[in-house]
Structure 1
Amino acid sequence: MNEKEKNELYKEFGIDDAAGVFENLQEKESLGQEILERIQATKEIREGQDRILKLRRKKTMLTIAAAVGFVLISTGLLFLQPFGGDSYITVTVAKGETRKLVLPDGSTVWLNSASTFKYPKKFGEKRRVYLLEGEGFFDIVHDDKVPFVVEAAGIKTNVLGTSFVVKSYQALSTMSVAVVSGKVAVSDDHQQTSVLEQNEEAIYNKDHRKPTVVKVKATERKAWNDGNVILNAAYFEDLVLAVENAYQVKIKYDQQKFKNCQNSIRFNTKQSLKEVLDLIKEIQGITYQIKEEKEVLITGSGCN
């Protein structure tokens, strides 16, 4: 089709200036192509900017995560350091039982009922152990260069080589250290220090922490190791706890009524619970009931 025939065809559709239309179409096509190219360029620029922003955000988040991780790890290390994680062994003795332990230096510890004890798998420059709850009899191997320290409820017992009993039950209002042989130095958080020799006992009241040093027959303090319970001028709470731990029972009584009661008692854990309660009834004038599920109810006038 020649140019003349094209023009005639355009005229049939009412188009007079075919050449102008054609040129106009070409211009429009050229403009449309330019617009498409600009849109594509803008899209590529924005995609590039988005990638840069994402990379920056990712880098920022990684930096924050690393900083937080460092703080948590540092805090964790500081928290775990005192007990060294797996480098310590924790031993818990159930009610009605006692247990013997041999420590890394050859020292021996006997733990009484309802006691929890923590010690290192290996001693280094220090020999330090923790009586977290309960009572223990310690027979320590002598070492002039490395003192042995027992920590219990803020009270530290320092020795070079000796044997002694530490009693620190949470249920009691007092804790004590009694020397069976040798000499020990006992101190608290306020740096109050008592030097104890054989057959001396330091008793700490948990309220004021002031130690009272008394003369005792220290071998009686570890009699529980042979199944014997010997309490001299002991408060009623101490007597009750001894029975609870030996016979795995819970004793309910009016603590305020019996707060000032002090008694001396001796019994063997091979005796029945009823026999021991009858003995307490005789010396204290109580009335008791043994209920199901190992519960005992004690009533009486007390010592007000």
Structure 2
Amino acid sequence: MNTDLLHKYFKGEATEQEENLIVEWTESSADNKKLYLKERMLFDMALFSDTSASAKGRKNRYLYYMAPVIAIAAMVALVFFIGLPQFNQPEPQLSQTIHIPAGQRAQMELPDGSTVWLNSQTTLTYDATFGKKDRKVVLNGEAYFEVAHNKEIPFYVQTENIKVQVTGTKFDVCSYNGSNSFIARLIEGSINLFANNAEEKPLNSLTKGKYFSMENGKYKTGELSSNNALAWIEGIYYFDDVPFNELLNKIALYYNYKITVKDPATLEGYRCTGKFKDLDGIEHILKVIQKDHPFKYHIDNEHNKITIE
């Protein structure tokens, strides 16, 4: 298979006939599939390197530059073959999933020119046809988007409970699967928020400087007090008068630790405010909090476990 044609396909520029040809070739043998995966990985790694290099010259961007090894590890493409084409008009059903490991972040450019920053323990998935007929990504985690304007093809971010619709804007979405929580912060433009499977009437429509949050099924909206909530893009975790339990849940997620509180009732009144660099590590955060709130902890780094007393 011609590598130029594969790259054209990866960019979303291939014709329908070329797409069908590539899918048929990929599925025809295990060796072809292996070559496809290898070429896709090399293409994404090169794309990430080019995007990171160009981003260094931009001003006023929230971006934390990671070492090349970390960047490559974070951007390894996982390409899944969901189904085989059928009959005389096969349709490619390939999708790409990017997963960011604990304690890392990454920035990438989508095929439509949109830019996205991905936080620790975040997974982003989109179809190979992204940007041609639709622009939909599936998010599990936290991401900041700068969406390329396109009135003809709206941009969608699908999370576990809520779908975000936008044509061109800058916003942050945080929704980790299983957390039963969601928050969207709008920096520029406007977005519509829909409950899953209910697109006729939006839950809310945000304008610049507003946020929308959901916690255990309860909705809340308000004005953004600052951009500190986006400090994670620069490697800083910011907490503003949050319950201690909420802070523990977040750092457990960011650093991939299991935290157990022996007696949760004793910590119910604890609230925390502060900024922490992610490179400081989870134990440093606990030691800083100890100065204001008396508690003991035992950390098992070998098994990534922490017990709070």
Instruction: Tell me the TM-score normalized by structure 1.
Output: 0.64
Q: Cα offset for 1:218?
A: 5.4
Match of 2:194 in 1: 187
- The number of residue pairs the alignment matches comes to 216
Match of 2:10 in 1: none
Aligned partner of 2:164 among 151, 157, 168: 157
Distance 2:154 2:243 in 1: 33
**1:271 pairs with 2:277:** no
Q: Cα offset for 1:292?
A: 4.1
**Cα gap change, 1:214/1:85 in structure 2, threshold over 3 Å: closer, same or farther?**
farther
C-alpha distance after superposition, 1:158-183 (max 9, x if no partner): 11111111111135342111112221
Q: What amino acid is the match of 1:241?
A: N
Match of 1:227 in 2: 235
Match of 2:138 in 1: 130
Distance 1:118 1:104 in 2: 13
Is the CA contact 2:118–2:143 (under 8 Å) kept in the aligned structure 1?
A: yes
Aligned partner of 1:205 among 215, 239, 258: 215
Q: What is the correspondence of 1:10-49 to structure 2 with a 5 Å cutoff?
A: none
Match of 1:6 in 2: none
Report the secondary structure of 1:211's partner residue: strand
What percentage of aligned pairs have identical amino acids?
25
Rg comparison, structure with higher value: 1
Unpaired runs of at least 5, structure 2: 1-82, 86-90
Distance 2:161 2:281 in 1: 36
Report the secondary structure of 1:241's partner residue: helix
Unpaired runs of at least 5, structure 1: 1-75, 79-83, 300-304
Distance 2:212 2:257 in 1: 29
Is the CA contact 1:136–1:165 (under 8 Å) kept in the aligned structure 2?
A: yes
**1:97 pairs with 2:104:** yes
**Cα gap change, 1:230/1:85 in structure 2, threshold over 3 Å: closer, same or farther?**
farther
Pick 1 or 2: higher relative contact order, CA cutoff 8 A, min separation 6. Answer: 2
Is the CA contact 2:262–2:307 (under 8 Å) kept in the aligned structure 1?
A: no
The structure that is helix-richer by fraction is 1
